[in-house]
């Protein structure tokens, strides 16, 4: 495998750009290829089979672009499809669930961890399984927060309504006296101020994006696959539907300019103009 | 064309069942085939080209099932794809935009009409065009309400937060002194109590679902295509992804039991078990 090949990253939409932002910080030399499945976003309400089908199409596309490793920067796809994807490809492929779970298991003192995510991620039980495989003594309290993604996409990050919704969703986690809370959706770090405020400062928030960036760096390093030349940072962006909001919101998520975006039809698998 | 053939109806997801409920009331003898594109829902944030591509795949499927007419029970698909779809098929095909626009133009006294819908429906300008083609004197004020669909799907119909969000979204419509408001998304009639309360009783709400049912009845009648035998009401339901919430929410939307649901893969076009 070529050390100087790019790293592939994908998400159902824009949210995975928060993971890419952390990866750029942790791996400034690496070139990255991002895929956002805007035509079929979001995955959070869809079945395991459908999420696996869509994810595998994207993985095939990224491999056709010569990537050396793939980051599934979408909690729903990581929860529903990661194991199956691993069996189908030979390059390293990591998700966002295990890195977040590892960090939370490391940080908790009371062994009471909360997880907030989409309805579909929670339903897979992936966080509970991952955490309990690390330490079966840990008690995990899960809470789906379906309105958080639309609130972030609406840009209502500090709106009074967002605060009220956070209070309602987080109430069962507060009464269950967790000391660590995993933000199990790529959009949620945008609400970390509100979430921290509602939960109180004694609760540690775990941002899976940071942990995933750390984890892919370790994996590439262990496999001798870290890039050895400094790239001129020509990250590439592919989407399955045209969207002006991809650039608008995406640049906030990525904290960088998004220059060239190519739209491709996954049904055909070929880029078109 | 066989008068006793079924009527096809489709939506990106579950919302179109509110239109089907009105069609069952208006046309109790007719058999109906519903398609919900759960694998790719929602359409409200997607491009015109993508919505047209998805809609045409569904129309082809419905035609393969022998339907005599098709109702596009999705505002986004009606706004983005209806004209193109009409050029591609020979059976009657109607959307939800024109019926709602006609009723609003008929009802308004002050010639100031408001339209609320998804971001994508508003961006097409379809309601403005439809209303002004009926009466160019009418002033139309449009407002996207992206959080309304997730609020309905979360079941927060009378939640305090829903009221606050409605107040914020509807504020520009109130200050613009409209006398008629089109609910331009199939989910919005579920919020009609809150919306009416915020707008005040002097504003008439137009439910496109009712108007569309009236319109398809008229079209079938004019074409001599009304069913002449009383069916045993064996409506059929097809979806592109498995979803327990389709039945759960769908039965509330439809106000009837949903018995058999068949999942099909539109890529292949063939029903499978």
Per-residue pLDDT at A272: 31
CA–CA gap between residue B11 and residue B14 (Å, rounded):
7
CB contact under 8 A, B39 and A45: no
pLDDT computed for residue A271 by the predictor: 39
pLDDT in tens, B52-92: 999 999 999 999 999 999 999 999 999 999 999 999 999 99
Question: Which pair of structure tokens corresponds to residue B186?
Answer: 């199939």
Question: CATH assignment of A7-95+210-271?
Answer: 3.40.50.1860
Query: What tokens appear for A161 in the block?
Result: 């309504």
Q: Chain B residues with CB inside 8 Å of A164's CB?
A: 160-161, 164
Confidence of residue A198 (pLDDT cuts 50, 70, 90): very high
Block residue for tokens 């398809």: B216
User: How far away is chain B from the Cα of A151, in angstroms, using its nearest Cα?
Assistant: 7
Interchain proximity A243–B164, CB inside 8 Å: no
Quick one: pLDDT at residue B231? 60
pLDDT at A270 over 50: no
Judged by CB atoms closer than 8 Å, whether chains meet at B164 and A168 is answered as no
Inter-chain contact B241–A39, Cβ cutoff 8 Å?
no
What's chain B's Rg over C-alpha atoms? Answer: 18
Which of B150, B164, B241 lies nearest to residue A147, judging by beta carbons?
A: B150
CATH annotation of A97-208: 3.40.50.1860
pLDDT confidence tier of residue A260, bands split at 50, 70 and 90 = confident
- What pLDDT, on a 0 to 100 scale, did the predictor assign at position A225? 95
Over residues A206-238, the pLDDT tens digits come to 999 999 999 999 999 999 999 987 767 789 999
Catalytic residues of B: 74, 185
Closest residue to A40, CB basis, from B40, B151, B165: B40
Collect all residues with Cβ–Cβ distance below 8 Å to B184 and sequence separation of at least 6: B75, B97, B100, B115, B116, B117, B118, B121, B122, B127, B208
Distance from CA of A173 to the nearest CA of B (A): 19
- Provide the shortest C-alpha distance from residue A27 to chain B (in Å): 32
- Looking at residue B268, what is its pLDDT? 53
Q: Is the peptide bond before A42 cis (omega within 30 degrees of 0)?
A: yes
Domain-by-domain residue ranges, chain A? 7-95+210-271, 97-208
Q: Inter-chain contact A39–B38, Cβ cutoff 8 Å? A: no
pLDDT at A1: 79
Residues of chain B with pLDDT under 50: 269-273
Beta bridge partners of A94: A71
**Global confidence as pTM:** 0.90
B154 touches chain A (CB under 8 A): yes
Judged by a CB distance cut-off of 8 A, whether residue B46 touches chain A is yes
Dihedral sign computed on CA atoms, order A230, A234, A240, A243: positive
To the nearest whole Å, the CA of A39 is away from the closest chain B CA by 6
Domains B7-95+210-271 and B97-208 share a fold: yes
Could you tell me which chain A residue has the CA closest to the CA of B54?
A39
What is the percent of chain A where pLDDT is above 70?
97
For B31-59, write each residue's pLDDT tens digit. 999 999 999 999 988 989 999 999 999 99
Q: What per-residue confidence (pLDDT) applies to A265?
A: 87
**Which residue has 């069996």 as its token pair?**
A87
């Amino acid at each position: 495998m070529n050390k100087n090949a790019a790293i592939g990253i994908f998400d159902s939409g824009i949210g995975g750009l928060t993971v890419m932002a952390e990866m750029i910080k942790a791996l400034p030399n690496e070139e990255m290829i991002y895929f956002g499945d805007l035509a079929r976003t979001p995955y959070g309400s869809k079945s395991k089979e459908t999420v696996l089908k869509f994810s595998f199409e994207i993985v095939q596309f990224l491999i056709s672009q010569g990537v050396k490793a793939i980051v599934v920067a979408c909690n729903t796809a990581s929860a529903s499809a990661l194991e199956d994807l691993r069996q189908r490809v030979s390059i390293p492929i990591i998700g966002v669930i295990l890195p977040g779970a590892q960090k939370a298991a490391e940080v908790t003192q009371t062994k009471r961890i909360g997880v907030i995510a989409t309805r579909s991620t929670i339903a897979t039980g992936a966080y509970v399984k991952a955490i309990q495989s690390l330490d079966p003594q840990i008690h995990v309290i899960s809470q789906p927060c379906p309105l958080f993604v639309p609130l972030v996409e609406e840009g209502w990050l500090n709106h009074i309504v967002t605060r009220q919704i956070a209070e309602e969703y987080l109430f069962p986690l507060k009464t269950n006296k967790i000391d660590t809370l995993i933000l199990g959706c790529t959009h949620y770090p945008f609400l970390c101020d509100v979430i921290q405020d509602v939960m109180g400062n004694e609760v540690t928030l775990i941002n899976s994006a940071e942990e995933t960036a750390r984890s892919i760096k370790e994996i590439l390093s262990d496999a001798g696959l870290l890039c050895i030349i400094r790239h001129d940072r020509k990250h590439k962006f592919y989407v399955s539907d045209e969207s002006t909001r991809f650039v608008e919101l995406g640049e906030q998520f990525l904290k960088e300019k998004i220059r060239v975006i190519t739209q491709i039809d996954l049904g055909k698998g070929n880029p078109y103009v």
